[in-house]
A and B are shown apart, each in its own frame.
Chain A
Amino acid sequence: MMRAASWAYLILAYGFIYLPVMTLVLFSFQGSGLPVPPFDGPSLQWYGEVLGDRDVTDALIHSLTVSLGSSAIAVALGFCAAYGLARFILPGSALIRGLLIAPITVSYLIVGLGLLIVLTNAGLALSLLTVAIGHVVINLPLAFAIIYASMGAQQQNAERAARDLGAGELQVVTLVTVPMVAPAIAAAFFLSVTLSWDEFIIAFLLSRFDITLPVEIWSMLSSGLSPRLNAVGSVVFLVSVAGVLILELLVLRRRRA
């Protein structure tokens, strides 16, 4: 009785979780012009139309550029800070860690609003660059926390050995430390890319002419339900899923093994 109820609940829960995604993907193959039942596909016309739309493909390239660029910066800054805090005795290190983590606790809307006020008052024009600055702010705490957590004392012996053998600080970092914490660096990078790729509100507030894909989808939304939106949404979803699966296969598997 309890068993049957458990399995029934499990099925219902998965049904609820997958209902919107399945509907989105199914009706992206809709034959007619409205993404509602009855389904009269499958047809690839909406994918063809979307991929032929300059606004969409431009936005896609902008999104990729911003997410890869901002994640690279966030991971580089996060790694250096983690190395500095894990390997050196610095006065006020608890306060520094707190400061670096702090942006996690504030909603994206507020981060975006603060940056909008400061950047426009500083005379900086809104562009993909300002979006990337915002995305580094929200991804740096995650990158720092993930990499810092992976820097245990066990790696210090290898670093000390390298130093004894005459390696300079830069050589120690690039040839010894980075390879040892590579899984954490990869995890931080893919997580940042996935979050930045999807992020809307900061990208919306801090961009003007060149926009990212979520913002483009947002502007398409104002014309109502359309299979074109389903097609774009499905592409965005698939890219995110690919990112998560890479993370799962490459990084988490290896950690477990």
Chain B
Amino acid sequence: MTGARSGAAGWGFVAPALLWTLAFFIVPFVVMGAMSLATLDGRTLVWGLHPDNYVELATRAYLWRAIIVSLEITLTVTIVSVLLAYPLAAIIAFRVPPRWQRLALLLAILPFWTSYVVRSYAWLLVLAQEGIVNRALTGIGLLDDPVRLANTRFATVTGFVHFFVMLLTLTIYANLVQLSPNYRRAAMDLGANAFQTFRHVILPLTLPGIVTGAFLTFVLCIGDYVTPQILGGNTELTVPQVIMVQLGRRANFPLASALAIVLMGIVTLAYLGCARWLRLDRI
């Protein structure tokens, strides 16, 4: 930056935040890594370089089953959320008159600020056996008896999709309004119909925004404990749920740490997989 000065005073300003991050983020992270290589002898912790936890992860069915459940739920949520959010963002960007767009967007993401716990509880209300969805479906004669909606994977996915549709609408909308209308006009002038314009012009230009939003969705979804715990009904466990079980009931910190490292590994792989389209600086 022009006119910047050098000097020890600069370190004085940076040091507090840096020390905080080192002490309460980097150090815990390194210790967690070391913890994943420790092992339990009965209830006493033995530090060292033991691969036990990772071996257990690979061989115990209920552990790798959790990884598969987490991946299935997260991928479903990511795909469904993008497919639902894209049209919503496009309608707000192209159909809603410009002076109302800001309000339309604010309204579309207001419930985003409900806490995870409250939002999941609200879905439990909606999907309950006696809840309004079942009442409505039996009321209009579509169903004879209420169906089990809460405490299923469907409920978990619904709760997640609700949250991420709002997040993705925001990121995709930001991408769409940045596009110059000239691209669309040029495509139309060259004889493309609405679908061709979308397929060959708008979609490729908004791909970075979509991938960035989808990546965020993936990361936040796979690491969440609350939504599957409240809505999923414990019939199948995700990785964060298994981590919490290991922490709570067993106090098995080494295995919980190993699971956390695996979770981070999955996120890193997802990052590498879509790095060429990611624009994290533009969120």
Q: Which A residues lie at the B interface, using CB under 8 A?
A: 2-3, 6-7, 9-10, 13-14, 16-21, 23-24, 27, 34-37, 77-78, 80-81, 83-90, 96, 99-100, 102-103, 105-111, 113-118, 121, 133-134, 136-137, 140, 144, 153, 156, 160, 169, 194, 197-201, 205, 214, 217-218, 221, 225, 229-230, 233, 236-237, 240-241, 243-244, 248
Contacts and interface: CB of A to CB of B under 8 A. Distances in A.
A190 B84 CA distance: 30
Interface string B24-43: 11111101100100000000
A106 B28 CA distance: 12
A118 B13 contact: no
Interface in B1-27: 1-7, 9-14, 16-18, 20-22, 24-27
A37 B135 contact: yes
Contacts, number: 244
B108 A14 contact: yes
B260 interface: yes
Contact of A248 (B14, B106, B225, B226): B106
Contacts of B194: 2
Given A6-B95, A117-B253, 5 more contacts: A2-B194, A10-B96, A37-B132, A89-B6, A221-B117
Contacts of A85: 10, 14
B118 interface: yes
B3 A198 contact: no
A137 B4 contact: no
Nearest to B28: A114
Interface string B175-216: 000000000000000000010000000000000000000000
B16 A77 contact: yes
A214 B117 contact: yes
A109 B240 CA distance: 8
